[in-house]
Amino acid sequence: MLITLFISSCSVQYFSKTSFPAPDDVFITSGDGDIQKPYTPVGQLIFMKTGWRIPLPLLGLIPIDDVDPDTELKTEVFTKIREMGGDALINMSIQWEPPTSGFLGIGASGGMITVYGTVIKR
């Protein structure tokens, strides 16, 4: 039983599906080829969030504040784009470190997300 617990805690895979809003609401692209020029650059967006877990034995297995890319984009990034006066984010880059349970909770992490991009007004 204990060996099974050790082996199963070492191989965790994460997959996250991220959905974007309709293009007429907030347009998001990893390049800028789909945007009709001219457009007005509003500023650079840099968003970072780190989740957390209690990195202690067994307590680290409990997800307290894990980072989910889809949730962060919908609740934070899209809102920041609108607050900056933009309606599009071009040259977007997402770096995501998924949450980990560590070894039986020891060294657990809630993950981290960083989103870069240029906010523009179309």
Percent of the chain with pLDDT over 90: 48
CATH of 2-121, one of 3.10.105.10, 3.30.830.10, 3.90.1140.10, 3.30.110.70: 3.30.110.70
Q: What is the pLDDT of residue 10?
A: 52
pTM of the model: 0.76
Q: What is the pLDDT of residue 109?
A: 92
Whether residue 7 has pLDDT greater than 50: no
pLDDT in tens, 50-70: 999 988 898 888 989 999 999
Q: Give the dihedral sign, CA 22/23/25/31.
A: positive
The residue extents of the domains of the chain are 2-121
Q: Residue range 23-40: average pLDDT?
A: 78
